[in-house]
Chains A and B, each alone.
Chain A
Amino acid sequence: MKLKEFRNDLLGESVFHAKHPTGLNIFIMPKSGYTTTYAIFATKYGSIDTSVKKADGTFETIPEGTAHFLEHKLFEGEELDAFEQFSKTGASANAYTSFDRTAYLFSCKENFEESLGILLDFVQKPYFTQETVEKEQGIIGQEIRMYKDLADWEVMFNLLSALYYEHPVSIDIAGTQESIAKINADLLYDLYRDFYNLNNMVLCVCGNVDCESVLAVADKHLEKSKGGKIERRFVYESPKPVRTLVEENLSVAQKQFLLGYKEDRKTPEVSLADELASQVMLETLFGKTSPLFNELLSQKLIDMGFYNEFFFGFGYACCMVGGTSPDPEKTAEIIRKAVAEAVKTGLDPAAFERTKRKLYGSMVKMYNSIEGISNHLMGLYFDGYKPFAELDAFRNLTIERANRRLRKLKNSYSALSVINPLPQEQ
């Protein structure tokens, strides 16, 4: 197997890439001086995959929340479940499902090779029975209920449902009580066969590790699988929101809000250069040194929790800004006015440069964390980028590009999500 080295002199780090004969892409970043190792094994299958492309080219609908359900169930084994196996090596294991991927991971200090073997094995060996599927419906049901009480979570999903007509990004990652009730063992096996083939997956390892040991474990534990990369369905959506205001009452102390600007996406994917430009643009406009932040603060309309995010993935992209406010409507009105003004004038060049420095700092700091790095390498691979691609994109980041991103913000494409306090029984 050929190893390709990607070197970054600024950071003094290298990432090694190998394409395993089974079809799996493997990325390894040894970290000198580190005593721990993190490994993540992931498939490009997340909550937005509510349909799967069949051999005849048609798309078949899948119940919402199946990627997440499958994540829970893969831990099950015929004899020992994965947690029981990891308890023999000491590794601390976990998994997560996001909008566009499902990832299985562990971190360890000792017995790395044994733990990596367990990870590769349990993800490649599904074992479900109707009984264990039913038991899991109870556990995931509680997980869904837990999130339903979290205002941060609700304010975001409500906003997404106000912004998107068709796109499944507005559906809770875990699905709903009703949708998970439709899941059975046979369905899970079918979806497993579709999405969990090694050509649709990636393995990233970072920390106290050498390439030879990772590849040796891969040779021993990976089994060639059928199938290829899974193609997603892109459906163009009008940039107009479904509705401009969405409200929910929850047991919280104060009103919370999230204002979102939907982007007119003619193509499904946002480039890395545009991603960075959007981040710097938002931070320049809404960050703690911005005139807008300080105006809202002096009017007591926001607090230090005021935040912004560029939120995007396959087929969706939006700029979000939110926080706690006694008057979300008034706050949103001031923000919308400021956005319209900024679109006309462009960003302040000095503020843009400062924010760029801040972004650079956060990019460098990320390389402290073996967890951060492994997840980052995975994201770059799934999005079609090489290791360290973000640092190249950063070097070429100009205010012109940030202003182009800024001009995409249109108030007629925006929606406001508000959580109102619900009175508590005394």
Chain B
Amino acid sequence: MAKVTTIADGVRLCTVQTDRFKSALISVTMAVPMTGNLSANALLVRVLKHSSKKYPDFVRLNQKLDELYGASLAVGFTKLGEAQQLDFSISCIDDRFALGEGEKITAESAELLCGMLFNPDVKKGAFRADVVDEEKRFLLQDIEEEINDKRSYAKTKLVEIMCRNELFGKKPYGTKEEIEALTPEDLYEAWQNLLKTATVMITCVSSDDGKKVERIFKKGFSKIDRQPAAITTEFRTRAGRFRRVEEKFPVNQGKLVLGFRTGKKSKEDSFAPYVVMNDIFGGNVYSKLFMNVREKLSLCYYCWSRIVSPKGILLVDCGIDTENEKKATDEILAQLKAVCDGDFTDDDIKASFMGMRERWLSTDSPGIIALWYSSQITDEKIYTPEERIAMIEKVTKKEICAAAKHVKLETVYMISAQEGENNEA
């Protein structure tokens, strides 16, 4: 159902034409190596959102979005393996549902998104200083507030500790100090560099054929001397020396995160066996972690495992009473051993296949479709959900056990409750 074409060097367009949705979604995903200026790129995506030449101030931009029936413009940055991924997207109602005659909501939204990327409000090699300062304040505040959500903070912290000597151990925005030092000129340079060197995937899910969107972006990229930078990710196949880090916070519940190396040599190395192994271990409510750590031992409300295929690591996280750390860790490792030993039935494998069929083939949302394709931005071959499921359903018990046997614990990070006013029990 998706059509993928290359519209410029390193720029792919993926169009999905369907009239089953009430809205259209256009997203532009860019990937650059994590060796670049992470902080400048991260701040840049925020600045671009509010530097449209056509709608230079914040109020006018948002008024325009309201007029487009509340079109939503979103930007973000994250890590994809050892690539820094930058996202820009706009979602708007489909033209068919406009209240007036002949309103071109999708085309106007695409123009707005494209203008944001290619035609920002820049002068003499710099972005506007007031916009840069304001976005800097917001970004620094967001970073400071990471600590508010202890669960995601703990997971980030584990990766930072475990991969401290790899690019993956960096934050997708670099450091606070780097951000503080950025100038409007630095951002201009980052912008030029991004358009030139990023690998790009544009996804368009709408009721029309996407030709208009193709023309708009083709024109945008035609003026740029494209030199896409190669992106690679280091896979450490063997676990290094075990390390445990603990931090104390005045909280009610402790957070435990376990970091494992999986032995994978690349994203595609035994892709399907690892995905199934993770699902049986702790990916769902029928998995070993949920059934045992939560249901049998009542140690927690949540306990999940997640495989990060583009980096070859596996994480387990749960929220527990601080004094139960050893009990929970022992049980998690015992369940991993059970997967290694083949302590699961053919019915369990069948349940896992069915669960994944359901989840991976459920694509009744523009956002899910766009995400499926944009997450493959750094891959040469683009898989459809059906192709991935076909791979998954071929996995054997032997392969699952073999994958599990390579999974080795390397790092533990624990947030424990410190004595204080918030400890109620």
Interface residues, chain A, CB within 8 Å of chain B? 10-11, 31-36, 83-84, 87-93, 107-110, 135-140, 142-143, 145-146, 148-151, 177, 207, 249-254, 287-289, 294, 297, 300, 303-304, 324, 354-355, 357-362, 364-365, 367-370, 422, 424-425
Contact = CB atoms under 8 A, between A and B. Distances in A.
Contact of A146 (B18, B93, B319, B363): B319
A34 B249 contact: no
Interface string B112-153: 000000000000000000000000011001001111111100
Contacts of B253: 142, 145-146, 148-149
Interface of B: 18-23, 58-59, 62-63, 65-71, 91-93, 97, 99, 137-138, 141, 144-151, 248-253, 284-286, 294-295, 298-302, 319-321, 347, 351, 354-355, 357-359, 361-366, 418, 420-422, 424-425
Contact of A33 (B18, B286, B420): B18
Given A142-B319, A151-B148, A364-B97, A355 B22 contact: no
Contacts of B418: 424-425
Contacts of A91: 358
Given A251-B147, A253-B144, A368-B23, A303 B138 contact: yes
A140 B70 CA distance: 39
Contacts of B147: 251-253
A254 B363 CA distance: 38
Contacts of B300: 139, 142
Given A146-B301, A303-B141, A368-B21, A92 B359 contact: yes
B364 A207 contact: yes
The 9 closest A-B pairs by CB, nearest first: A90-B354, A361-B69, A138-B298, A33-B20, A358-B70, A361-B70, A87-B351, A87-B286, A145-B253
Contacts of B137: 300, 303
B252 A145 contact: yes
27 contacts: A33-B19, A35-B362, A36-B362, A83-B286, A90-B351, A91-B358, A109-B362, A139-B298, A142-B300, A142-B301, A146-B151, A148-B252, A149-B253, A251-B250, A251-B422, A254-B144, A254-B145, A289-B62, A324-B141, A361-B70, A364-B93, A365-B23, A365-B93, A368-B23, A369-B365, A422-B420, A424-B418
B131 to A, nearest CB: 12
Contacts of A358: 65-66, 69-70
A107 B65 CA distance: 33
Interface centre among B97, B137, B284, by most chain A C-beta atoms within 10 angstroms, is B97
B97 A32 contact: no
Contacts of A142: 253, 299-301, 319-321
A181 to B, nearest CB: 12
A251 B150 contact: yes
A254 B141 contact: yes
Given A139-B300, A142-B320, A364-B23, A87 B150 contact: no
Contact of B145 (A109, A138, A252): A252
Contacts of A148: 252-253, 422, 424
Contacts of A84: 286
